[in-house]
Structure 1
Amino acid sequence: MSNGPVGVALVGAGVISGQYLRNLNAFPDVRVLGVADLDADRAAAVAREHDVPVSGPLGSVLALPEVEIVVNLTVPSAHAAVALECLRAGKHVYGEKPLALDMDEAAKVVAEAANLGLRVGGAPDTFLGAGLQSTGRALRSGLIGTPVAVTAATQSLGPESWHPNPEFFYQPGGGPLFDLGPYYLTALVSLLGPVIQVAAGTRRAREHRVVGSGPKAGEIFPVDVPTHVNALLDFPGTATAAATFSFDSPVNRRMIEIIGTEGALSLPDPNTFDGPLLARGAHDKDWRELPLSGTTASRGIGVLDMARSIRAATPHRASGELAYHVLELMTAIEESGGSSEFRGIASTTATPEPLPDDWDPYALTIAT
């Protein structure tokens, strides 16, 4: 088994790469060694900005023997192909969501990793932040009794007003369900366990959208996915959930509420790592804010947990199994949209272990 900090490379030098690189460079248990992109100049610029020693095409970072984990930040349509290339080069893979565009592609990635004795991890890792970890502690303590029902919603007019290249949000693998759904579904599965069946209704409000900012402002592009999704999810032996995912709403909402037999919780935005976390008893007249404990270190803590788990030979929490289950939920929700009939979910996943109370991303825990 190797010793010392785990070598990491990124593939995909787009908008989100900066956030990952800032965070990963601050974690002493990992070393960022390379940045890859189809655009070599962009990879080089990002590498220079973040003091990463190697940049170039994917092959240039896969050739680095010190790289053990590749963080796959490519567009959704490339997730599976890039993951397979990395696995076949002997690297563990941690990918941005979704794991793949469809279940066949995802199954190939998971099977290839198992055959090669390698790990797959997947975003989002927001459920490892202080807000949702504290939610889990509140549920396990029995604060609201037994969970009975969940209401969740993420609603906006879509990302084209602020993102300079929004087209991929409206292609397969995007839309509010595949773009924002993973945060909400991963949060719920991490708290309540796997889902056994789903049903949904879906709509697409407009056939085309307009880029609202940047050099392409005013360009018209097609919409190829549902932009408003209402879903029902059945968690066996516990709550049912009603969830809305929309890019068609002038009302901005980001919320999850869990109702229990003894009260309710209002959860933090699952696209964040912090609070607030609110609670109320069955007879309370108002919400009260609960104290939080845990990390608010932001994107990349799933990669760090994976790195530490590799060295400790323990399961990592933002696992390929969890990402695969969430992908099946989204796929089944989309498939159910035309009929509103329930679809059974074949996959399952273990509930991720809570992070230890003293888990500190900025501490050096891996022996050199």
Structure 2
Amino acid sequence: MRRIAILGCGFVADLYMRSLAAMDGIEVALVYDHDAPRLDRFCAHWSLPSSGSLIEFLGSVPPGAVVLNLTNPSAHYELNRACLEAGHHVYSEKPLALEVSEAKELHALAAQRGLLLASAPCSVLGEAAQTLGHAIRTGTAGTPRAIYAELDDGFVPQAAYDKWLSETGAPWPADDEFRVGCTLEHAGYYLAWLISWFGSVRTVVAASAETIPDKTGSGPMAPDLSVATLFFENGPVTRLTCSTVAPHDHSIKVIGDKGVLRCNASWDNAAKVTYARRLTVRRRLMEHPFPSRVRLGNRTTHPKVKRWGAAAMNFMLGPAEMFDALEKDRPCRLSADFALHMTEVTLAMQKAGETSGAQAMTTRCDAMEPMPWAM
């Protein structure tokens, strides 16, 4: 039996549990959260065993289990480190840490202890991302020349987020989300896809700003808008935008020599991937107005999860990949190199401000091996 241990049972933890229901052969060994009432509600709802303290939790995680760190981002570095020091494989919600130096420490510690260290999001292992990656590799649209990716979530400060509750009643953590910022929270959804296809980003040229003042919560707020141009070592120039300001748009467009590949929903594992070939009609250059659907054929991909709220994602694809790598003694697709590099690129976008200019990345990772059903 593959076993996970859940650290933190806030808003996102229920999404992991719904995904777990779609996966065979994975069970929860134990759960801990410093909020005792919250822990009791979560464990009672899902019929799970709990730990009374962090020390007890770290000492009770079964050998070979994977700890899912689902705590608030400000606690990620400290708790990821504690788990690694206790000898446990770690799958961390994004970001891996809030500073590149801290992420590098975790990377080094995992290597020293011979442990797996992975980071969300795992939608890169999903059908939509893998289908688009397959279309790129096989030249459906020709050589990719540029990519435009958007992760805009609408004017969130005016949304009814006080009514956003998880299945077990955990509120959407608005204060924390605004302090951490949409870039750290969401850029990884497309960065993971991009890095998996093309490998390392060489240079980030970005700008970020807080455009909506007086949000709910205390303390300094993170930028609510970032725009980055990414220069890959072996890939096309890419523009990536994150905001909680602009109208909702989660599209990605791969512009090739022959036409445009597109996906409109990064948070849906089963989202359509389309191809619009380029043509000339009466001297006018255009993409075909009726794009064709790109498919992988009749291949069996992975268990799907029904939509809940804004997402239709199987959050357990990442931990399942870690277990598969451990059991087959092969490199994990969600490697520590991958997690570290994605963290550095994300932080470069988040902290760009107005005058940072071109930022050279100090970390590297290889492109990801496609899933067997997307080869």
2:293 to 254, 271, 289: 289
Give the structure 1 partner of residue 49 of structure 2: 53
How far the C-alpha of 1:27 sits from its partner, in A, is 2.5
Rounded to whole Å, the distance in 1 between the matches of 2:234 and 2:91 is: 31
1:200-239 superposed matches below 5 A = 200-210=206-216, 221-239=218-236
Give the structure 2 partner of residue 105 of structure 1: 102
Give the structure 1 partner of residue 324 of structure 2: 308
How far the C-alpha of 1:20 sits from its partner, in A, is 0.8
**Alignment partner of 1:168 is 2:176:** yes
- Over the aligned positions, Cα root-mean-square deviation in angstroms equals 2.0
Distance of aligned partners of 1:60 and 1:28 in 2 relative to their CA distance in 1, 3 Å threshold: farther
Contact 1:43 1:55 in 2 (8 A): no
* Structure 1 consecutive aligned stretches of length 4 or more whose deviation exceeds 3 Å: 220-223
Rounded to whole Å, the distance in 2 between the matches of 1:306 and 1:152 is: 28
Distance of aligned partners of 1:356 and 1:49 in 2 relative to their CA distance in 1, 3 Å threshold: same
Partner deviation per Cα, 1:265-298 (whole Å, 9 max, x = no partner): 1024222212111111222522122225522351
Q: Secondary structure at the match of 1:209?
A: coil
Contact 1:209 1:223 in 2 (8 A): no
How far the C-alpha of 1:102 sits from its partner, in A, is 0.7
Contact 2:130 2:374 in 1 (8 A): no
Look up the equivalent residue of 1:324 and give its one-letter code: L
**Alignment partner of 1:73 is 2:73:** no
Length, aligned pairs only: 343
Stretch moving more, 153-162 or 67-76: 153-162
Q: Secondary structure at the match of 2:102?
A: helix
Contact 1:30 1:307 in 2 (8 A): no
Give the structure 1 partner of residue 18 of structure 2: 22
How far the C-alpha of 1:89 sits from its partner, in A, is 1.2
Structure 1 residue runs of 5 or longer lacking an equivalent are: 211-219, 360-368
Contact 2:195 2:201 in 1 (8 A): yes
Rounded to whole Å, the distance in 2 between the matches of 1:65 and 1:151 is: 42
1:37 to 12, 33, 39: 33
Contact 2:5 2:30 in 1 (8 A): yes
Contact 1:35 1:46 in 2 (8 A): no
TM-score (norm 1): 0.88
Rounded to whole Å, the distance in 1 between the matches of 2:61 and 2:329 is: 20
1:340-351 superposed matches below 5 A = 341-351=357-367
Give the structure 1 partner of residue 372 of structure 2: 356
Give the structure 2 partner of residue 194 of structure 1: 200
Rounded to whole Å, the distance in 2 between the matches of 1:333 and 1:120 is: 23
Q: Secondary structure at the match of 1:71?
A: strand
Structure 2 residue runs of 5 or longer lacking an equivalent are: 165-170, 280-286, 306-313
Look up the equivalent residue of 2:277 and give its one-letter code: G
Give the structure 2 partner of residue 129 of structure 1: 126
How far the C-alpha of 1:139 sits from its partner, in A, is 1.1
1:76-87 superposed matches below 5 A = 76-87=73-84
Partner deviation per Cα, 1:175-216 (whole Å, 9 max, x = no partner): 121111111111111122221001112221133214xxxxxx
Look up the equivalent residue of 1:354 and give its one-letter code: P
Contact 1:73 1:95 in 2 (8 A): yes
Look up the equivalent residue of 1:176 and give its one-letter code: C
Give the structure 1 partner of residue 263 of structure 2: 267
Stretch moving more, 317-326 or 132-141: 317-326
How far the C-alpha of 1:65 sits from its partner, in A, is 5.0
How far the C-alpha of 1:35 sits from its partner, in A, is 0.9
Rounded to whole Å, the distance in 2 between the matches of 1:342 and 1:161 is: 37
| Percent sequence identity over aligned pairs | 29
2:137 to 137, 140, 148: 140
Q: Secondary structure at the match of 1:184?
A: helix
